[in-house]
Amino acid sequence: MKYLNNNEFCFIKKILSLPSKSDKNLVLGPGDDCAQLNQWLISTDISVENTHFNLQWGSIEDAIYKCVLSNLSDLNAMGAKAEWALLGICLNKSWGVQEQEKIVSAFQGVLKKHQVGILGGDTVSGDIASFQLTVFGRTPDGDKALLRSGAQPGENLYVTGELGASKAGLWALEHGVADKYPQLVRKHLLPEPPLALGPILHKHQVGACIDLSDGLSSEMTHIALQSGVKIEVDADKIPLAQGLEAFSKKNKLSALNLALHGGEEYQLLFTSKLPESLLILYLQVFKVTFIGRITKGEGVFLNTGDKGLIKVQPKVWSNL
């Protein structure tokens, strides 16, 4: 996992701008967390052995859990709940019956828990394993989804959960010190997106909403660009994961940078004018934190207090 360079970024932009066409059934094309065809919000995610998961670090069940949850998180970001899934399973050709059984029961467990049914799929084998999921969900009223482009000046910026743990956990795995930081590693291997919150935010018609798969700096930039607004985020308000500061100090890393640029968090970042009296419930249940303001203008700026406003450069965290 690494940060995208320009060449890779251009490739993704090009590939997703391929043949488009007008169709009354297409409510939303590429460019957000999901596409929308009629009432169906649709998202697809690939998880590749040695890139997204490493069986030295976690089990097949962990890999499937994370693949499914990261995909459900895309629906959550648009205010939708997953209902159906299509599977694409590539078995590692060295695997046998035991691994096949693990795969069946892992998909069974996580999909059943989230009330997602199987539409169908394809199963093949190859030199390495991969799992690709395509999920279908709907917003509570089947209406338009929450978009990255929905932010307006005057709104506040909120984030759920605590940040930085996933990237810290990955660092610990890569540097052979995973046993010292089990909680951070667990956050990397088994993320817990706030899946109940997306549909609630949709009902309350918040502004923009996105999930933190590519890191806070990158996702704030998406909202700022696609909404045509300026974002000012307060450095001291960004909620750092438990144990992150001690980990950072010990390993000479910056806790703020881990929280700002680390990906695969799957928390929600949203903008809203919701009154605090309504938010108090979410503050408790989903650990919603106020981290900044939406204003007129463009760009993302970090308010550091003593050093003033610093422009934030997005670092798109990717497996490309």
* Contact residues for a second copy, defined by CB under 8 A: 7, 11-12, 14-21, 23, 25-26, 29-31, 34-35, 37-38, 40, 42-46, 48-52, 83-84, 86-91, 93, 97, 100, 103-104, 107-108, 111-112, 115-128, 130, 132, 134, 136, 318-320
CB of 197 to a second copy, least distance (A): 23
Distances (CA, A) of 192 to 28, 207, 272: 27, 23, 23
Closest CA to 73 of 210, 216, 262: 210
Between 239 and 262, whose beta carbon lies closer to a second copy? 262
CB of 213 to a second copy, least distance (A): 10
Tell me 144's DSSP state. P
CB of 29 to a second copy, least distance (A): 7
CA 128 from chain centre, in angstroms, equals: 24
Between 44 and 226, whose beta carbon lies closer to a second copy? 44
CB of 64 to a second copy, least distance (A): 11
- Can you tell me the distance from the alpha carbon of 178 to that of 183, in angstroms, rounded to the nearest whole number? 9
Write b or e for each residue in 146-168: b if 16 or more Cβ atoms lie within 10 A of its Cβ, otherwise e. bbbbbbeeebbbbbbbbbbbbbb
Helix (H, G, I), strand (E, B) or coil at 256: helix
Between 139 and 156, whose beta carbon lies closer to a second copy? 139
CB of 125 to a second copy, least distance (A): 5
Between 19 and 275, whose beta carbon lies closer to a second copy? 19
For the four alpha carbons of 110, 184, 317 and 5, in that order, the dihedral sign comes to negative
Closest CA to 201 of 114, 140, 287: 140
Between 108 and 304, whose beta carbon lies closer to a second copy? 108
